[in-house]
Amino acid sequence: MKTKGEKFAGVTVALVTPFRNGEVDFDDLGRLVDWHVEQGTDCLAPVGTTGESPTLDHEEHERVIAAVCERAAGRIKVMAGTGSNSTREAIRLTRAARRHGADGALMVGPYYNKPTQEGYYRHFAAVAEAVDLPIVLYNIPGRTGSNITPETIARLAELPTVVGIKEATGSMDQASQIAALCNLTLLSGDDSLTLPLMSLGGRGVVSVVGNIVPRDMKALVAAFDAGKFPEALRWHRRLFTLCRDLLGLATNPIPIKAALKLLDRGNGEMRLPLCPLDEAGEAKLRQTLGTYGLLDGVTAR
């Protein structure tokens, strides 16, 4: 069955934001976009959690969206992170994303202020009314402090421009209930749960591990879509440890930034309060990358 945001089915990569000497490295950002076009990634989600949006000021946030959209130039879809715990700011960022040519907005639930379910509804409804751009909701209670319930999500699904949800609660019961209540396009917010979520009606993933192995994530999703379930399961099992460690060794995006550095695809720089992996964490990550076969012939910086 076709879902409401079918255009965002597949593998969307939650894009890292590269920094150099404390500033956004727009040259490297452009190279990342080009690489994902070459890899066949379906969509990019800049300035989300993985893109360190909480440490970008408002001008930088908009400039990153603009830069990714400009470099994408229609070659790859862009689902720009435009969420905020201020509804006015979320509207401003979503308007900017539309102005710069984004295909959609990825909107995290308001964080820290922990709205009621009615507050969640009014927040997203206000953005949907103000900006004509497809919205993919992003529910991640571990970051925001509270859950958007399936009933509220189903209510939001009645809004014309709310087309999908990035489901990052880790609860298969919640995912099942969302799928039963509405026809939003359901996307996994946890790489390691992509296959289980697709078995419940999910249509893909917003992926962290896709920053380094997008083709492998695409192979998993494509195998499931083609009804090749044993093949999809093989990909799940191959990817599992990599997915687990990239989200489990430390807070995202610390491990993925470290992995990119080890793979000679970045300098690993982040902004405080994020800081690099400790020695034990880096050793474990190096082992995981090596076991996967990603460090063959790579000299880490």
Q: What is the pLDDT of residue 70?
A: 98
List, in sequence order, every beta strand (DSSP E) within 29-150: 43-45, 77-81, 104-108, 135-139
Which residues are annotated as catalytic?
138, 166
Q: What is the pLDDT of residue 1?
A: 65
Please, which residues have CB within 8 angstroms of residue 215's CB and are 6 or more apart in sequence?
Answer: 39, 40
Q: What is the pLDDT of residue 6?
A: 95
What does each of the 301 residues of the chain score in pLDDT, given as a tens digit? 688 999 999 999 999 999 999 999 999 999 999 999 999 999 999 999 999 999 999 999 999 999 999 999 999 999 999 999 999 999 999 999 999 999 999 999 999 999 999 999 999 999 999 999 999 999 999 998 999 999 999 999 999 999 999 999 999 999 999 999 999 999 999 999 999 999 999 999 999 999 999 999 999 999 999 999 999 999 999 999 999 999 999 999 999 999 999 999 999 999 999 999 999 999 999 999 999 999 875 533 3
Domains and CATH numbers, the chain: 7-226 (3.20.20.70)
Distance of CA 239 to the CA centre of its chain: 17
Q: What is the pLDDT of residue 299?
A: 38
Does this model's pTM top 0.85? My answer is: yes
Report whether 108 contacts 49 (CB < 8 A). Answer: yes
Report whether 68 contacts 61 (CB < 8 A). Answer: no
Written as one letter, the residue type at 180 is A
**Start-to-end Cα distance in the chain:** 47
